[in-house]
């Protein structure tokens, strides 16, 4: 899909990250969207409470991302976690439990349009299954080959995604 024909065209996206280059990169990658940027927690709170978004993208470290996730979910905004330093199974688990719809490593920022298009097409529902299929080797590289078996919650969560398709 080109930027002109993307279903993301004109969508309001809030991006929160304490790294200016990440904010600029996300804005470039999502050039078909109306991107609002917040470099810190306080700016993010004002934007989260003041406007409506089709999708919210949050860093975890440096901006108190999990607290912002709780607020975004309460406001009904589909929220994607985008992280580098907090790329751990614990942060992934927290993101799932707190209601994020996806969790993307920053080095996969160019995949953002793909995941956001799926979020929008799915009416804001989670795209965990697509994430685990597309990035399974990346997560295995980062967390270890047996990362899904090591954590009961993640193992059961991923198994539930497999049974979802057959129901």
- Cβ–Cβ under 8 Å, residues 128 and 115: no
- For the chain, the residue count is 167
d(CA 37, CA 57): 10
Report which of 72, 102, 82, 78 is spatially closest to residue 18, judged by C-alpha positions.
Answer: 82
What pLDDT is recorded for position 163?
A: 75
Residues in the chain with pLDDT values less than 70: 1-5, 164-167
Give the tens place of pLDDT for each residue, 101-124.
999 999 999 999 999 999 988 888
DSSP classification of residue 127 = -
What pLDDT is recorded for position 164?
A: 65
What pLDDT is recorded for position 5?
A: 66
Report which of 53, 61, 57, 106 is spatially closest to residue 81, judged by C-alpha positions.
Answer: 57
In order of 5, 11, 127, 162, the CA distances from 80 in angstroms are 22, 15, 10, 21
What pLDDT is recorded for position 126?
A: 87
Class of domain 12-126: alpha beta
* Residue in the structure block whose two tokens are 């614990």: 90
What pLDDT is recorded for position 161?
A: 87
For the chain, give every domain's residue range: 12-126
């Amino acid at each position: 899909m080109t930027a002109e024909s993307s279903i993301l065209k004109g969508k309001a996206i809030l991006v929160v990250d304490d790294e200016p280059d990440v904010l600029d990169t996300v804005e470039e990658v999502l050039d078909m969207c109306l991107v609002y940027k917040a470099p810190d927690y306080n700016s993010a709170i004002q934007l989260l409470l003041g406007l409506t978004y089709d999708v919210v993208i949050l860093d975890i470290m440096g901006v108190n991302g999990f607290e912002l996730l709780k607020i975004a979910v309460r406001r009904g905004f589909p929220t994607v976690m985008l992280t580098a330093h907090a790329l751990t199974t614990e942060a992934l688990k927290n993101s799932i439990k707190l209601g994020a719809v996806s969790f993307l490593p920053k080095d996969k920022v160019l995949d953002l349009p793909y995941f956001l298009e799926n979020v929008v097409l799915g009416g804001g529902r989670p795209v965990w299954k697509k994430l685990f299929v597309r990035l399974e080797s990346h997560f295995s590289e980062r967390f270890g080959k047996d990362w899904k078996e090591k954590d009961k919650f993640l193992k059961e969560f991923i198994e539930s995604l497999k049974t979802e398709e057959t129901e």
